[in-house]
A and B are shown apart, each in its own frame.
Chain A
Amino acid sequence: MTPAHMEAALLLAGVLFMLGLISVLIRRNIIFMLISVEIMLNAAGLAFIVAGSKWVQPDGQVMFIFILTMAAAEVSVGLALILQIYHQLKTLDSDAANLMKG
């Protein structure tokens, strides 16, 4: 594997992370914000895999498994929160949930 390939893979992780970040910033729909967080977590995992492949060590893939577990737990709790917000406010607008009382 040439270094260019490796650097391009790191760059791909950066591009995907940036796209997820833009989406979190510009979206008001709360489900889209959750999807964007998933994109960013996936990009971080890709960076770990690239590093593990660069040094031929299993640690990068172990970290990716941890990130995967964290993403699964996060999406389940996040979706439960979205359901709760939708039932209380009848909208998916994240700006509607700006009052800190139920």
Chain B
Amino acid sequence: MELTFYIAAAVATIATILTITRYNIIHALLYLVVSFLAVAVVFFTLGAPFMAALEIIIYAGAIVVLIIFVIMMLNLTHEDVDKEKAWLTPRVWVGPAILSLVLLAELAYIILAPDTQPTEALVAVDARVVGMSLYGPYMLGVQLCGILLMAGIVGAYHLGRQKKKVVHRFLQPKEGRSAAI
């Protein structure tokens, strides 16, 4: 279990690093799926098998597929990859990376600071207990999640709607939209 965890953690870290350094979005998404699968293995070793399944189904399945659909609607080409390469110069990424690494070092110091904690065996929290808690004390949260999803659907529909195309050329508005940009 210990070795499985460390291997999965290494895979997750490497895949995430590869995700954020790709120029092509599809390649980045493939590495992102690998990263999510590795995190799912980490969940499994932490005794949360139901959450591992949810991670694979929703993150690696639904969300990544949604992003891929949108990328395919956008019709990106090689020029976009070259543009991405021009945007991501070392002058741009060195500063934020160093500052974030300082923050990570502080966090690691806090987590790994020596304090004595008793060793205990791994106890899995199975889906049944989670369900009892979800529909017991967290009932309000579940209903709020429902409202949030409803707002997400309505918002995505409203924002993603295109203006209706006017077919006849005499009925076109005279370049109002492009002039506004």
Which A residues lie at the B interface, using CB under 8 A? 1-3, 5, 7-12, 14-16, 18-23, 25-29, 31-32, 34-36, 38-39, 42, 46, 49-50, 52-53, 56-62, 64-66, 68-77, 79-84, 86-89, 92-93, 101-102
- Count of residues in B whose CB is under 8 Å from the partner chain: 85
Given A15-B13, A68-B54, A80-B159, A58-B125 contact (CB < 8 Å): yes
Chain B, residue nearest A99 (CB): B181
Q: Can you give 12 contacting A-B residue pairs, CB < 8 Å?
A: A9-B9, A9-B42, A18-B101, A19-B13, A25-B96, A26-B96, A42-B59, A49-B43, A58-B134, A76-B66, A81-B159, A92-B74
Q: 18 additional contacts, CB 8 Å, given A11-B108, A12-B13?
A: A2-B2, A11-B107, A16-B39, A18-B101, A20-B16, A32-B20, A35-B67, A42-B39, A46-B39, A52-B48, A62-B130, A64-B51, A65-B130, A74-B152, A80-B155, A80-B159, A92-B80, A93-B87
Q: Which A residues touch B119, using CB under 8 A?
A: 1-3
**Chain B contact residues: helix, strand, loop or mixed:** helix
A86 and B74 contacting across the interface, CB-CB below 8 Å: yes
- Contact indicator per residue, chain B 101-118, by CB within 8 Å of chain A (1) or not (0): 101100110011000010
Q: Which A residues touch B160, using CB under 8 A?
A: 79-80, 83-84
Chain A, residue nearest B180 (CB): A102
**Chain A contact residues: helix, strand, loop or mixed:** helix
Which B residues lie at the A interface, using CB under 8 A? 1-2, 5-6, 9, 12-13, 16-17, 19-20, 25, 28-29, 32, 35-36, 39, 42-43, 45-48, 50-51, 54-55, 58-59, 62-63, 66-67, 70-71, 73-74, 76, 80, 84, 87-88, 92-93, 96-97, 100-101, 103-104, 107-108, 111-112, 117, 119-123, 125, 129-130, 132-134, 138, 141, 145, 148-149, 151-153, 155-160, 162, 177, 180-181
